[in-house]
Structure 1
């Protein structure tokens, strides 16, 4: 089946794009304006009616407009696919009465904490600061991240960007100006830092 037909994969990607946009509090017009695109053009991507949604370069453009990454899009789409009902929804509209509890939330992975023991990320975070991180969330550009390595080690850095083979990070013994390039095959888990708690 051609990718531009409405299948569950393209629907999930479109819904994921819409979810990322709503998380950032943007309308379709505001998101589209960041790319010199109309709200209708943006809406076609969210509706899964534009075949380019599967192209990595298009995903990078769209997610960059939302200060997100293609990895954020993929994680959100996977969550949407996992939460989708096994049977297709009935056609038409059903009313559950006057009350509405909102969309069901995806099960959240518990956040974790660790305390920094060096100044590799100063002034962003210094020794003694406790970082709270979410293993279910991919970091955005300039956001702290905790990377568990396949050899059992752990890196705490600022996320810069990623490509198919590498993660590009900032921070380390040389301070925030030092760049670290990490092969993706060495990363067992990448988690976004969601809070810095001063001692």
Structure 2
């Protein structure tokens, strides 16, 4: 039996779809749930294993679940001006599960100045973070449009904003409007002082 070889254009569309999803702070499961689709079904589109991604109605449906448009998807797939905003996925060339052509995102540091994230991270703990999509329950740093750096525990991204914990303690929940978010970063390490 012949092995399925995805069309390069479908691969680019799939990578662009994944970049849009990560920009919105969604996992494949969360994005798929918006369409009553499994994470595996969503992942097949991102992997270029579902050629229906060419169809305008499918593109509208998928990008609509991400609060985006087919035009934004096409622009990212073509490497347009907004492609730089996709973070670490920009410029990747897929070859199965291996990627080439990507630069390693720079890691930044932030010292926790209060006990709002205790016991996850007490005052004085230094967090390493880099641009990327955190998973639910993972630490994140949110760079806001007004220049703040907010250390939080990521819960999910939804239409109303990023749902996070760590405001006045781990039980304190907050919804940060997407328009306030300049960049979402994931915590890669915690250093006790």
Q: TM-score range by the shorter chain?
A: 0.5 to 0.7
2:109 maps to 113
Cα offset, 1:108, TM superposition: 1.8
Over 3 Å counting, the alpha-carbon distance change for 1:142 and 1:53 in structure 2 is: farther
Distance in structure 1 (CA, Å) of the matches to 2:148 and 2:39 = 43
1:46 maps to 47
- Structure 2, unmatched stretches of 5+, are 1-6, 19-37, 67-84
1:171 maps to 166
Cα offset, 1:16, TM superposition: 7.4
Kindly report the root-mean-square deviation, in angstroms, between the aligned alpha carbons of the 2 structures: 3.8
2:100 maps to 104
C-alpha contact 2:11 2:46 (8 A) present in aligned 1: no
Distance in structure 2 (CA, Å) of the matches to 1:15 and 1:163 = 21
Secondary structure at the aligned position of 2:121 is classed as coil
Over 3 Å counting, the alpha-carbon distance change for 1:128 and 1:104 in structure 2 is: same
2:132 maps to 137
Which structure has the bigger radius of gyration? 1
Deviations 1:136-189 (A, max 9, x none): 21211111111122122221111111124411111111x111111111111112
Distance in structure 2 (CA, Å) of the matches to 1:186 and 1:56 = 21
Deviations 1:81-132 (A, max 9, x none): x245xxxxxxxxxxxxxxxxx7425112210111111110011111111100
Cα offset, 1:37, TM superposition: 6.6
Secondary structure at the aligned position of 1:158 is classed as strand
1:92 maps to none
Relative to the length of structure 1, the TM-score reads 0.57
2:4 maps to none
Distance in structure 2 (CA, Å) of the matches to 1:11 and 1:125 = 39
The total of aligned residue pairs comes to 144
1:153 maps to 148
Alignment of 1:1-199 (within 5 A): 8=9, 10-14=10-14, 35=38, 46-47=47-48, 48-51=50-53, 52=58, 55=62, 75=86, 78-79=89-90, 82-84=91-93, 103-134=99-130, 136-173=131-168, 175-199=169-193
Distance in structure 2 (CA, Å) of the matches to 1:108 and 1:36 = 26
Distance in structure 2 (CA, Å) of the matches to 1:46 and 1:186 = 31
Deviations 1:20-69 (A, max 9, x none): xxxxxxxxxxxxxxx5979xx9657623424457615888xxxxxxxxxx
